[in-house]
Amino acid sequence: MNKRTVWMGLLAMAAMAWGAQSASAADQPRPRAEGQRPAPARGSPGRPGAPGRPFVDGRGQVMDARYNHGRYYAPVGSVARTLPPDYHPYYHGGSPFYFSGGVWYAPRAAGFVVVAPPAGLVIGALPPYYSTIWFGGIPYYYADNVYYTWQPEQNGYAVVPPPDGAGTAPPDGADGAQSEAAPAAPTGQSDLIVYPANGQSKDQQAADQFECHTWARGQTGFDPTQPDGGVSQADTNRSHSYYDRAMAACLQGRGYQVN
């Protein structure tokens, strides 16, 4: 055997050994550099113990997917230096609370912290986006892991504990409760065709429709989120007609074309 043949054999063996070592190294996890954080996993959980919050957006807000709600909110415990410009103040048990877009705040030394509102707190209008769900034939209005019910004696919506069976509901709402998404406007308004004649954004239109719904309900006594509109069956059609006329007048006054 000449030297050339020997060298070719040694090079071939070395190449095989190097290839095996490279394949083995590729299967091993790469060490993380000191101080380097692992990449966040998609679908990181949001509020601990709260179902339906598996996704986080770029602003740190977590999605409330329960009952197919599908909205993002600031998580409980997060702190804001200032309140949103459209907040509404409320008091309960001598303590102040501030409400904006479905999120509740309470004052803290560093600013305002996102909190879960206490049961019994009454608000004049539901958040712009909510979901109507039914438990035991009773409608509940849901947003940001908070349940509300209409309290006619207080002319408002009260924060209430979760209804029986809601505590174990999966994020998609498949717990036996009947749920329907209600983004800013009750489903009873579906017979009105609303066009933003002044170029209003979708969020502005949603807020305007909800505020007009609140006004029209107060003027007519008809609430499309209630069975039979909350009136006797004999008065349902007439009251619904009055409600639609009040809604149309309110929306037209805010620059919408209503058909």
Per-domain residue ranges of the chain: 62-182, 187-258
Strands (E) across the chain are located at 62-64, 71-73, 79-80, 88-92, 95-100, 103-108, 111-115, 122-123, 130-135, 138-143, 146-151, 156-160, 178-182, 194-195, 257-258
68-89: per-residue pLDDT in tens?
Answer: 888 889 999 999 889 988 888 9
DSSP state of 185: S
pLDDT score recorded for residue 178: 44
Q: What is the mean pLDDT of the chain?
A: 73
199-237: per-residue pLDDT in tens?
Answer: 887 667 767 777 888 888 889 888 776 777 788 888 888
3 state SS of 126: coil
pLDDT score recorded for residue 189: 38
Region 20-49 average pLDDT: 41
Contact predicate 213/124, CB 8 Å: no
**Which residues neighbour 143 within 8 Å (Cβ) at sequence distance 6 or greater?**
64, 69, 71, 102, 126, 127, 129, 130, 131
pLDDT score recorded for residue 109: 76
Whether the pLDDT of residue 112 is over 90: the answer is: yes
- Percent of residues, the chain, with pLDDT higher than 90: 19
Whether the pLDDT of residue 117 is over 80: the answer is: yes
Contact predicate 255/190, CB 8 Å: no
Q: Where are the alpha helices (DSSP H) in 27-77?
A: none
